[in-house]
């Protein structure tokens, strides 16, 4: 009998092409999903922090015109802006534009402002949930891919078993062991993705609710203003 | 802008994480491989002192004191002279005697040394030869065992057990081989008590036909171990 080297590397190197392909796919999926996990984590944390900062600033009693100009300046400097300030700027800009024309009906002004804010809100929502579907599909599909690799590997090793006369554990064990690596890799890719997806989905929901609440509050302020005239 | 930096840092983190996992897997997560530990064959080292022990040196005899009397000088002198002469003579004789003794002793010593050395050398050579023979015998045993193992493996591969086989059955067969490894005869030495079982054992031996590997064996070893091979067949020695 030849010397059996059972190190993980040797097992992977000896696996059949299909199983190797499965393993490579799973490894790639794991790498990509971790990129998404870290990036989303940083992004969502940043969004929450900036929302808190903005709210503090907004309710500190600052003049809204000043706040608008300040934020616009900052957005111009940075090239782009994220989060709740976009909603605020869209609503405020629309409100000013509509309110400046004299024959504006207050209800029409409010309607336009609300619409502008809704558009901004849905843009922000899109930004928050990007990549989450990828994590969800890695989480649900990679165990199946791994299982497929394992089944294929075990199938082959049992086919080999049919050729020999004396079936011993030693003739099938390396094949099964090598096939099981695929399942292990599938789980390795899936588990972090599941956890991250659940966590981030909940977080996105919280942030969205925050945004909507703020938009309502801001809308009520503007409403008061437009009807007080 | 901010997005790009966060993507690159995320990618960096992900790559590092996977590299760490792969490194951990490759370095330490190997299954404990069964290693056959070969007991080293010890040769006990003994310090053999070839140089003979030195004899304690013979002390030269102390000279007797010359007796000097104050009175009767002449008589004394003469007597002293006589005495001295006598003493000198005696001393000379003693010295001569001692010299001869020493020479003889040295000669004897040399002879003894020679004998001792020869004895040690022959003893050493004998021990060496004995040890070499032991090692050879053990080596032979090992080779014979490995071929025996091979024969057993082949037989058990060819053996299809009858349904009447039970775990505690055992049949001892003698297989006669010729130096080409061909099976020329099979006899049941000890029956298992079940005819079907015995027949299946015989069948297995005949089915093996020829053990080509035995051709590589030295004829001395073949004659010693493989002219007639006794193999015990029992179902429990197989991995089921």
Confidence check: pLDDT of A214 > 90: yes
Candidate from A27-31, B145-149, B163-167 with smallest mean pLDDT: B163-167
How confident is the model over B101-119, as pLDDT tens digits? 999 999 999 999 999 999 9
Average pLDDT over every residue of B43-55: 70
pLDDT for position B113: 93
**Range with the largest mean pLDDT of A23-32, B1-10, B66-75:** A23-32
Average model confidence (pLDDT) for chain B? 80
Domain assignment present for residue B39? The answer is: no
Confidence check: pLDDT of A1 > 70: no
pLDDT for position A36: 93
Domain assignment present for residue B62? The answer is: no
Candidate from A115-119, B1-5, B126-130, B158-162 with smallest mean pLDDT: B1-5
> Which of helix, strand or coil describes residue B188?
strand
> Which of helix, strand or coil describes residue A57?
helix
Contact B18 A34 (CB under 8 A): yes
**pLDDT band per the 50, 70, 90 thresholds, residue B240:** very low
Q: Burial of A85 by CB count in 10 Å (0-12 exposed, 13-18 middle, 19+ buried)?
A: buried
Instruction: Residue B112: count other Cβ atoms within 10 Å of its Cβ.
Output: 11
Percentage of chain A beyond pLDDT 70 is 96
pLDDT for position A3: 43
Contact A96, A69 (CB under 8 A): no
Average pLDDT over every residue of B24-32: 67
Q: Which residue has the higher pLDDT, A75 or A168?
A: A75
DSSP 8-state code for residue B212: G
Q: B232 is in which domain, residue-wise?
A: 68-240
- Interface size, chain A vs chain B, as Cβ–Cβ contacts under 8 Å: 58
Handedness of CA B233, B236, B237, B238 (dihedral sign): positive
For residues A159 and A155, what is the distance between their CA atoms, to the nearest angstrom?
A: 6
Domain assignment present for residue B167? The answer is: yes
For residues B37 and A69, what is the distance between their CA atoms, to the nearest angstrom?
A: 81
For residues B10 and A54, what is the distance between their CA atoms, to the nearest angstrom?
A: 26
The full length of chain B comes to 240
DSSP 8-state code for residue B39: P
Contact B171, B200 (CB under 8 A): no
Contact B13 A42 (CB under 8 A): no
Contact A147, A183 (CB under 8 A): yes
Instruction: Residue B136: count other Cβ atoms within 10 Å of its Cβ.
Output: 10
Contact A166 B238 (CB under 8 A): yes
Domain assignment present for residue B130? The answer is: yes
Instruction: Calculate how close chain B gets to A45, using CA atoms only, in Å.
Output: 12
Confidence check: pLDDT of A165 > 80: no
Beta-carbon contacts of residue A115 (< 8 Å; ≥ 6 apart):
A94
Average pLDDT over every residue of B51-62: 62
Q: Which of B206, B209, B227, B202 is nearest to B217 (CA)?
A: B227
Average pLDDT over every residue of B143-164: 82
Chain A residue at shortest CA distance from B155: A166
Instruction: Calculate how close chain B gets to A80, using CA atoms only, in Å.
Output: 8
pLDDT for position A2: 39
Global model pTM greater than 0.80: no
pLDDT for position A91: 92
> Which of helix, strand or coil describes residue A56?
helix
Contact B30 A80 (CB under 8 A): no
Candidate from A19-28, A74-83, A161-170, B222-231 with smallest mean pLDDT: A161-170
pLDDT for position B67: 54
Listed by start position, the domains of chain A span: 8-228
Contact B175, B156 (CB under 8 A): no
**pLDDT band per the 50, 70, 90 thresholds, residue B210:** confident
Percentage of chain B beyond pLDDT 70 is 80
**pLDDT band per the 50, 70, 90 thresholds, residue B60:** low
For residues A129 and A112, what is the distance between their CA atoms, to the nearest angstrom?
A: 26
Contact A34 B13 (CB under 8 A): yes
- The CATH number of whichever domain residue B232 belongs to comes to 3.30.1150.10
For residues A26 and A20, what is the distance between their CA atoms, to the nearest angstrom?
A: 10
Instruction: Calculate how close chain A gets to B197, using CA atoms only, in Å.
Output: 18
Domain assignment present for residue B190? The answer is: yes
Q: Burial of B56 by CB count in 10 Å (0-12 exposed, 13-18 middle, 19+ buried)?
A: exposed
Q: Which residue has the higher pLDDT, B193 or A22?
A: A22
How confident is the model over B76-104, as pLDDT tens digits? 778 888 888 988 999 999 999 999 999 99
Contact A39, B6 (CB under 8 A): yes
For residues A153 and A156, what is the distance between their CA atoms, to the nearest angstrom?
A: 5
Confidence check: pLDDT of B70 > 70: no
pLDDT for position A229: 64
Q: Which of B96, B66, B94, B93 is nearest to B81 (CA)?
A: B66
Confidence check: pLDDT of B36 > 90: no
pLDDT for position A21: 92
Instruction: State the pairing for strand pair B171-177/B228-233.
Output: antiparallel
pLDDT for position B1: 40
Candidate from A55-69, A156-170, B221-235 with smallest mean pLDDT: A156-170
Q: How far is CA A7 from CA A151, A178, B32, B130, in A?
A: 21, 10, 9, 44
Domain assignment present for residue B53? The answer is: no
For residues A224 and A229, what is the distance between their CA atoms, to the nearest angstrom?
A: 9
For residues B191 and B89, what is the distance between their CA atoms, to the nearest angstrom?
A: 100
Q: Which residue has the higher pLDDT, B59 or B215?
A: B215
Q: Burial of B197 by CB count in 10 Å (0-12 exposed, 13-18 middle, 19+ buried)?
A: buried
Of A27, A42, A166, the CB nearest to B156: A166
pLDDT for position A108: 87
Instruction: Calculate how close chain B gets to A65, using CA atoms only, in Å.
Output: 27
CA angle A168, A173, A175 (to 5 degrees): 120
Domain assignment present for residue B28? The answer is: no
For residues B67 and B79, what is the distance between their CA atoms, to the nearest angstrom?
A: 10
Long-range contacts of A131-135 (CB under 8 A, 24+ apart): A131/A36, A131/A39, A131/A40, A132/A40, A132/A197, A132/A200, A132/A201, A132/A204, A134/A32, A134/A33, A134/A36, A135/A33, A135/A36, A135/A37, A135/A40, A135/A193, A135/A196, A135/A197, A135/A200
Beta-carbon contacts of residue A167 (< 8 Å; ≥ 6 apart):
A161
Handedness of CA B182, B185, B188, B194 (dihedral sign): positive
Joined together, the tokens standing for residue A51 give 């929302």
Contacts of B21 in chain A (CB under 8 A): 188
Counting the structural domains of chain B, the total is 1
Average pLDDT over every residue of B132-150: 87
pLDDT for position B115: 94
Domain assignment present for residue B42? The answer is: no
């Amino acid at each position: 009998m030849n010397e059996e080297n059972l190190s993980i590397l040797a097992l992977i190197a000896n696996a059949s092409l299909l199983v190797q392909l499965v393993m490579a796919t799973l490894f790639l999926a794991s790498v990509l999903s971790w990129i998404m996990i870290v990036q989303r984590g940083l992004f969502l944390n940043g969004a929450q922090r900036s929302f808190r900062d903005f709210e503090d600033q907004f309710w500190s009693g600052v003049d809204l015109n000043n706040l608008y100009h300040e934020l616009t300046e900052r957005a111009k400097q940075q090239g782009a802006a994220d989060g709740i300030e976009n909603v605020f700027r869209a609503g405020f800009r629309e409100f000013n534009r509509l309110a400046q024309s004299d024959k504006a009906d207050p209800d029409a002004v409010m309607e336009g402002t609300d619409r502008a804010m809704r558009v901004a809100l849905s843009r922000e929502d899109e930004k928050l949930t990007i990549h989450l579907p990828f994590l969800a599909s890695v989480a649900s599909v990679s165990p199946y891919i791994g299982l497929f690799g394992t089944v294929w590997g075990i199938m082959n090793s049992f086919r080999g078993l049919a050729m020999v006369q004396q079936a011993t554990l030693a003739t099938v064990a390396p094949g099964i062991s090598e096939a099981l690596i695929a399942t292990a890799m599938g789980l390795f890719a899936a588990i972090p993705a599941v956890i991250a997806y659940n966590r981030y989905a909940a977080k996105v929901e919280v942030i969205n609710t925050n945004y909507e609440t703020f938009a309502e509050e801001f809308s009520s302020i503007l409403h008061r203003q437009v009807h007080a005239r | 802008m901010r997005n790009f930096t966060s993507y690159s840092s995320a990618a960096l983190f992900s790559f590092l994480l996977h590299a760490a996992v792969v490194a951990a897997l490759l370095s330490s997560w190997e299954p404990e491989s069964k290693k056959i530990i070969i007991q080293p064959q010890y040769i006990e080292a003994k310090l053999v002192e070839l140089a003979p022990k030195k004899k304690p040196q013979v002390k030269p005899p102390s000279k007797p004191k010359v007796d000097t009397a104050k009175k009767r000088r002449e008589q004394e002198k003469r007597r002293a002279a006589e005495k001295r002469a006598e003493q000198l003579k005696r001393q000379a004789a003693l010295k001569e005697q001692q010299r001869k003794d020493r020479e003889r002793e040295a000669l004897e010593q040399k002879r003894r040394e020679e004998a001792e050395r020869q004895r040690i050398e022959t003893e050493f050579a004998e021990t060496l030869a004995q040890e070499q023979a032991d090692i050879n015998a053990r080596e032979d045993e090992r080779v014979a065992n490995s071929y025996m193992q091979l024969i057993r493996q082949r037989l058990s591969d060819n053996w299809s057990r009858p349904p009447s086989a039970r775990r505690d059955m055992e049949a001892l067969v003698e297989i006669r081989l010729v130096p080409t490894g061909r099976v020329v005869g099979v006899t049941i030495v000890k029956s298992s008590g079940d005819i079907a079982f015995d027949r299946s054992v015989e069948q297995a031996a005949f089915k093996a036909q020829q053990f080509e590997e035995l051709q590589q064996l030295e004829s001395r070893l073949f004659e010693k171990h493989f002219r007639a091979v006794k193999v015990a067949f029992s179902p429990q020695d197989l991995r089921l």
